């Protein structure tokens, strides 16, 4: 089953969800602002994306600028930051089996659905 980590207030996330819906495949929407991934889930997502935590962080968010900008943070600290401030997590993230992509641009999603 396809999973989409979604923020309904984000236009790119809404476009990504539309692509997943049009695929006709079963999917699950995870509203990650309300249902923040656990540390293990986030580590699993990073592994599937094959990226470091820093690449999944939205650095233009106020929470980043106010709390973390200019600081040297470890991988664990970056993951903890995303759990504490889920708005920092780039979106949408789509997972299909053992493949995952960040839907920016949304057409990236087509590669795995």
At 5-38, the pLDDT tens digits run 999 999 999 999 999 999 999 999 999 999 999 9
State residue 7's pLDDT score: 96
DSSP string, 18-67: HHHHHTTS-EEEEETTTSPPPHHHHHHHHHHHT--GGGGB-TTSHHHHHH
Active-site option among 2, 10, 101, 109 = 10
For residues 93 and 4, give the distance between their C-alpha atoms in angstroms, rounded to a whole number. Answer: 6
pTM of the complete model beyond 0.85: yes
| DSSP-derived secondary structure letter, 106 | G
Residue 28, beta-bridge partner list: 3
List the chain domain ranges: 2-111
At 33-51, the pLDDT tens digits run 999 999 999 999 999 999 9
Q: Domain 2-111, CATH 3.40.50.300 — does that match?
A: no
Q: Is 15 a catalytic residue?
A: no
Mean pLDDT, the chain, rounded, equals 97
State residue 84's pLDDT score: 98
At 44-78, the pLDDT tens digits run 999 999 999 999 999 999 999 999 999 999 999 99
Nearest of 50, 84, 88, 96 to residue 69 by alpha carbon: 88
């Amino acid at each position: 089953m396809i999973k989409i980590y979604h923020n309904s207030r984000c236009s790119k996330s809404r476009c990504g969800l539309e692509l997943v819906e049009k695929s006709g495949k079963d999917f699950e929407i995870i509203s990650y602002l309300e249902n923040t991934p656990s540390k293990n889930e986030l580590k699993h997502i990073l592994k599937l994306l094959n990226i470091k935590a820093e690449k999944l962080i939205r650095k233009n968010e106020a929470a980043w600028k106010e709390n973390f900008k200019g600081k040297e943070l470890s991988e664990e600290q970056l993951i903890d930051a995303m759990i504490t401030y889920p708005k920092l997590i780039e979106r949408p993230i789509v997972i299909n089996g053992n493949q995952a992509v960040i839907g920016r641009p949304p057409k990236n999603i087509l590669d795995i659905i």
